[in-house]
């Protein structure tokens, strides 16, 4: 088409210029007339299709180009002439068209044809191979990124659903935008069932009311952490710690909140149990530490008040001053003993017990001893199994609860005691640190004044009381707590001011109780010791010489008076070393009465053990204000009478008689001897 322009007419020169201009286009172009004869084209057209130059000339038939393509396989298998005829027929319609052709070599051409007003059509050919490859690469990249994003989203969803916390996204109008599975499950829903709904449709009104102030702080841009007790469907409660984070875009305005809630019920229960155990341990150490000195003081007080009362006789002075003082000192001694019992968790005598029967008996006792306006209702379930408890301690625990309810109701109202079987599930068992299995549940309810959350939290603490000064010792509910824990059970309380209190006690059933577990060696109680002393009926007229070993001078004087009243002669010593010196010089000593806790290289236990081997003919009686010291040495001094301070003259006399009574040597006991 690039022919010399010299010697041509202006019309031909103009046509040549047009064709040269078309040759500069990146697109291929052809013009066919109404007879489908080629009248114009450019070199790009030939290059795109790899046509030989001789194939294109003015007047070339459209079919020749189609036939050339068919012969080299551009249109796939089949009869070549059929391919030609079909395409020529379509071209004769002279309709606008735009198609993309993928050539066998991978080239992609966009073919766009438009009819001309005078007949024929003009067609442009655009190589879009690179564009399509780029689009495919972009589509592949988008697909890869989409897949990676979906995988990341699935991974984040899995993490969010499995993390042990409730996660939610809430807008400023308190509409839930997102919730993970754990958050929704707490309310008995799935995430799909709460997303898009107002929080008021999901959360308890009390939860919304109590958390409103924290959301208000977050609206102002603050990072808020708080704990609260949340009420869930079915009357369940959980202690939840919530981290509230405001969502602030570039504008700085809070548009939503991210919320993460962690269930801290178990942690609080564990911490509460740990603190309770630490308090009881501290109480035990404190009680053990002060009981010796306190009981020594009571020994002196009672030891002096008793003779004073005898001296004054039944006078007005005795009734007005001395008797109340003696009564107060004895109450102090009883209080110390209760405190030691609570702190020590002393061994009970558990046995399979019909709880319904025990509750019925205590209800009968209570009805005759509480105000008539306070009604007691017992509700029993026939399926309640036997529980392994100390029945006496169970009755005492119910009595303490009843007295507490009496004060809470001011003697007017209702007490309901309900017993039933309870199958403790694994989740609750883990929370209560109890084995899974069958329990007996006792629900003790009253409709009294109730307690605040602060009071409810401290209700089982020793010495804590909400009663007026002088109205209670604060040990009643602590004793109930100690009994339940001693019985390998659990106790909880629910209370609201003005709505009464509900105590729930779980006691292990007889089936759950492991009868093959090794029993702890029982310590001799005060009652058993009294039986040991009272069992000695033999009376010895011979008044033995007593060696009194006591480091406290005032206590020694009081005990000296009691020994004198019995009629025994005595000598005294401050320490174990001084006592051994006296025993070396005075052979007439028949009984050594020694305190346990003494200064020096030997205490009373050491002295008793030394005398057992050095002077087998000598009797020993131990005394102490600390019951723990006495009980801790029972194995070593099983046949030694023991006195718990303060003691009466009669108890002292019985202990001395027991010490002088003949003893039977026990087979297999290396410490038993012919004393």
Residues 5-15: tens digit of each pLDDT: 445 556 555 55
Is there a common fold for 163-263 and 526-660? Answer: no
- Give the CATH fold of the 10-127 domain: Beta-Lactamase (3.30.450)
In this structure, are strands 121-127 and 108-115 parallel, antiparallel, or unpaired?
Answer: antiparallel
Residue 288: what pLDDT?
62
Residue 291: what pLDDT?
63
Which CATH number does 351-508 carry? 3.30.565.10
Residue 525: what pLDDT?
36
Reported as a single tens digit per residue, the pLDDT across 337-391 is: 656 655 554 445 678 888 888 888 888 877 777 788 888 888 887 677 888 888 8
What is the full DSSP assignment across 71-138?
HTTTT-SS-HHHHHHHHHHHHTT---EEEEEE-TTS-EEEEEEEE-TTSSEEEEEEE-HHHHHHHHHH
Angstrom distances, CA of residue 594 to CA of 288, 452, 511: 19, 51, 47
Burial of 446 (0-12, 13-18, 19+ CB in 10 A): buried
Q: Which of 200, 196, 197 minimizes the C-alpha distance to 208? A: 200
Task: Enumerate residue ranges in the chain where pLDDT < 70.
Answer: 1-24, 273-274, 276-293, 331, 333-349, 382, 462-475, 513-543, 626-638, 661-675
Domain edges within the chain: 10-127, 163-263, 273-344, 351-508, 526-660
Reported as a single tens digit per residue, the pLDDT across 455-496 is: 888 788 766 666 554 445 556 787 788 888 888 889 989 988
Burial of 458 (0-12, 13-18, 19+ CB in 10 A): middle
Residue 557: what pLDDT?
84
420 touches 441 (CB < 8 A): yes
Q: Where are the beta strands (DSSP E) in 268-424?
A: 351-353, 374-380, 387-389, 413-424
Angstrom distances, CA of residue 506 to CA of 142, 392, 457, 485, 655: 61, 17, 19, 10, 42
| CATH class of the 163-263 domain in this structure | alpha beta
Cα(215)–Cα(193) distance, integer angstroms? 23
Angstrom distances, CA of residue 385 to CA of 329, 470, 504, 507, 510: 44, 40, 17, 10, 7
450 touches 500 (CB < 8 A): yes
The residues, any chain, with a CB within 8 Å of residue 143's CB and separated by 6 or more, are none
Cα(432)–Cα(444) distance, integer angstroms? 19
Q: What are phi and psi of 30, to 5 degrees?
A: -140, 150
Burial of 646 (0-12, 13-18, 19+ CB in 10 A): buried
Could you tell me what percent of the chain has a pLDDT over 90? 18
- The tokens of 430 are what? 């883990």
In this structure, are strands 619-624 and 589-595 parallel, antiparallel, or unpaired?
Answer: parallel
Residue 627: what pLDDT?
56
240 touches 262 (CB < 8 A): yes
- Give the CATH fold of the 526-660 domain: Rossmann fold (3.40.50)
Measured in whole angstroms, the distance separating CA 138 from the mean position of its chain's CA atoms is 52
Residue 115: what pLDDT?
93
The residues, any chain, with a CB within 8 Å of residue 597's CB and separated by 6 or more, are 292, 603, 604, 624, 625, 626, 629
Residue 596's CB: how many other CB atoms inside 10 A? Answer: 24
Task: Convert 385-437 into a string of H (helix), E (strand) and C (coil).
Answer: CCEEECHHHHHHHHHHHHHHHHHHHCCCEEEEEEEEEEEECHHHHHHHCCCCE
Residue 324: what pLDDT?
78
């Amino acid at each position: 088409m690039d022919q010399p322009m010299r010697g041509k007419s202006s019309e031909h020169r103009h046509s040549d210029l047009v064709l040269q201009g078309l040759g500069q286009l990146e697109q291929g172009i052809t013009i066919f007339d109404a007879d489908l004869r080629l009248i114009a084209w450019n070199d790009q057209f030939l290059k795109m299709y790899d046509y030989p130059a001789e194939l294109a000339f003015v007047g070339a038939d459209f079919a020749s180009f189609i036939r050339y393509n068919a012969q080299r396989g551009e249109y796939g298998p089949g009869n070549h002439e059929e391919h030609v005829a079909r395409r020529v027929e379509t071209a004769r319609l002279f309709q606008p068209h735009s198609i993309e052709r993928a050539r066998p070599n991978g080239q992609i051409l966009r073919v766009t044809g438009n009819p001309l007003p005078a007949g024929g059509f003009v067609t442009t050919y655009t190589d879009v191979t690179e564009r399509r490859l780029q689009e495919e690469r972009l589509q592949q990249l988008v697909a890869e990124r989409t897949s990676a994003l979906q995988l990341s989203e699935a991974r984040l969803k899995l993490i969010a659903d499995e993390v042990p916390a409730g996660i939610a996204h809430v807008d400023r109008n308190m509409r839930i935008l997102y919730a993970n599975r754990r958050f929704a499950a707490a309310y008995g829903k799935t995430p799909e069932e709460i997303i898009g709904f107002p929080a008021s449709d999901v959360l308890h009104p009390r939860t919304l009311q109590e958390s409103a102030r924290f959301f208000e702080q977050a609206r102002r841009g603050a990072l808020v952490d708080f704990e609260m007790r949340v009420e869930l469907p079915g009357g369940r409660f959980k202690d939840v710690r919530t981290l509230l984070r405001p969502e602030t875009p570039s504008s700085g305005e809070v548009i939503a909140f991210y919320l993460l809630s962690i269930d801290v019920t178990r942690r609080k229960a564990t911490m509460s149990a740990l603190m309770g155990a630490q308090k009881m341990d501290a109480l035990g150490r404190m009680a053990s530490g002060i009981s010796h000195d306190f009981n020594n003081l009571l020994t002196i007080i009672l030891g002096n008040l008793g003779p004073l009362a005898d001296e004054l006789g039944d006078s007005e002075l005795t009734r007005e001053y001395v008797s109340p003082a003696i009564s107060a000192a004895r109450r102090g001694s009883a209080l110390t003993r209760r405190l030691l019992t609570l702190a020590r968790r002393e061994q009970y005598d558990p046995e399979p017990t019909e709880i319904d029967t025990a509750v019925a008996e205590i209800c009968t006792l209570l009805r005759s001893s509480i105000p008539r306006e306070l009604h007691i209702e017992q509700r029993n379930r026939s399926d309640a199994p036997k529980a392994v408890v100390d029945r006496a301690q169970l009755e005492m625990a119910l009595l303490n609860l009843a007295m507490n309810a009496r004060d809470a109701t001011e003697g007017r109202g209702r007490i309901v005691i309900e017993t039933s079987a309870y199958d403790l599930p694994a989740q609750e068992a883990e929370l209560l640190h109890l084995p899974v299995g069958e329990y007996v549940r006792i629900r003790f309810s009253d409709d009294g004044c109730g307690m605040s959350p602060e009071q409810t939290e401290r209700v089982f603490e020793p010495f804590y009381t909400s009663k007026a000064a002088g109205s209670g010792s604060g040990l009643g509910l602590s004793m109930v707590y100690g009994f339940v824990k001693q019985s390998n059970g659990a106790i909880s309380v629910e209370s609201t001011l003005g709505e009464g209190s509900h105590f729930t006690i779980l006691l292990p059933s007889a089936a759950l109780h492991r009868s093959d577990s090794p029993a702890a060696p029982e310590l001799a109680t005060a009652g058993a010791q009294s039986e040991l002393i009272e069992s000695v009926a033999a009376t010895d007229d011979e008044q033995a010489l007593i060696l009194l070993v006591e480091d406290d001078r005032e206590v020694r004087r009081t005990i000296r008076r009691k020994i004198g009243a019995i009629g025994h002669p005595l000598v005294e010593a401050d320490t174990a070393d001084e006592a051994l010196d006296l025993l070396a010089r005075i052979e007439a000593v028949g009984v050594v009465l020694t305190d346990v806790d003494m200064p020096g290289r030997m205490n009373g236990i050491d002295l008793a053990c030394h005398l057992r081997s050095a002077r087998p003919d000598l009797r020993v009686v131990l005394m102490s204000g600390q019951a723990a010291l006495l009980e801790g040495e029972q194995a070593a001094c099983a046949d030694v009478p023991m006195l718990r301070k303060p003691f009466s003259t009669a108890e002292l006399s019985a202990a001395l008689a027991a010490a002088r009574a003949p003893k039977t040597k026990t087979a297999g006991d290396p410490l038993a001897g012919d004393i």
